[in-house]
Amino acid sequence: MVDEPEQSIRVVGPHASPPEDVLDRTRMSADERWDSLLWKSVDGTPILANIYRTRDPAELRRREYHETARRSLEIACGLVDIAHTGDRTELQAIHAHLFAKVYPWAGQLRDVDMSRHGQNFLMPEHLAEFVDGITSSARSIDWAQLDESEFVDNVAKTSMALNWAHPFREGNGRATRLFLDRLISQTRFELDYNLVNPTAWRLAHYDAHPQPDVLPVDYSPLASVIAAMTVQRAGIGIEMNHLGGGDIAVTIESSRENTVGQQIGEAIDAAGLTSPSPAPLLDHTPAATETAARTEHVPEIGD
């Protein structure tokens, strides 16, 4: 049995009973809000407070990866009732479904400042308005009429902006990728993430990060990576709306070699839909633990 979190560590969410004044996050200081999202792990380092109530970083990483891999498949295969609105509501709904059983704040915009590798993300008080503006601009694009260069340019700008916003405390990359895939679903092109090294994907976002007082933003490093992973839409989908849970593995397995841009094989294995289930590839495993410092030591952009 996993030990309960230490009493000295502030806990939020359905498994906590903090004092009433702590429940109102608007009355917390910035430091209190940051600390409230963390527990002390078994090795003494901070770990994100989680619904599993585990303080073992390896266990949290494994369980989060398996849970979000399965739920990513559910979204990609149309098994989840998330409206294609192309707005902040859809993005938050995607995040909420991905992390509903992992973090108590799944789907909620972060209310803490964040930076990584010396680069600041958008201040939380501006998140709702900024994401609304970015998604509104993206919805105004006639994606079906774009040629390949226009497609690459618009995807790069949208991805760069959403990454800079970093609307969630964790899981921004996974939620954004699903959001983008749904946004561009009616285009002649799609993104094949198997064509780009995960590190190159993260560093491209890092290199395209807006710099203070530098306009216009140079997102060309990201556009180059987007161009390399842009392919003609194959037109091969996975129809699962009428399938039971027992058919999921068979259906996806039959499509894994023909489905572009989904990383189906790895997701199936990670979700435990095949047996035996190998350990996930480290390059594709998002970090589930972070240091307590607001500036983190690696540019783990595509989380």
Reference 209, options 127, 117, 126, 138; nearest CA is: 117
Ordered by where they begin, the domains of the chain are 20-296 (1.10.3290.10)
How far apart are the C-alpha atoms of 253 and 265, rounded to whole Å?
Answer: 7
119-173 pLDDT tens trace: 899 999 999 999 999 999 999 999 999 999 999 999 999 999 999 999 999 999 9
Q: How many residues does the chain have?
A: 303
Model pLDDT, residue 293: 33
191: β partners: 230
Question: Tokens for 17?
Answer: 């009973």
- pLDDT tens over the chain, length 303 residues: 333 333 323 333 333 333 333 357 888 899 999 999 999 999 999 999 999 999 999 999 999 999 999 999 999 999 999 999 999 999 999 999 999 999 999 999 999 999 888 889 999 999 999 999 999 999 999 999 999 999 999 999 999 999 999 999 999 999 999 999 999 999 999 999 999 998 999 999 999 988 765 567 889 999 999 999 999 998 644 444 444 444 444 444 444 333 333 343 444 444 444 333 333 322 323 333 333 333 332 233 346
Under a CB-based contact definition with an 8 Å cutoff, are residues 68 and 96 in contact?
no
Q: Provide the whole-model pTM.
A: 0.74
List of residues 6+ apart from 282 with CB closer than 8 A: none
| Amino acid occupying residue 156 | A
Model pLDDT, residue 94: 98
**Segment holding 95, helix H or strand E:** helix 88-99
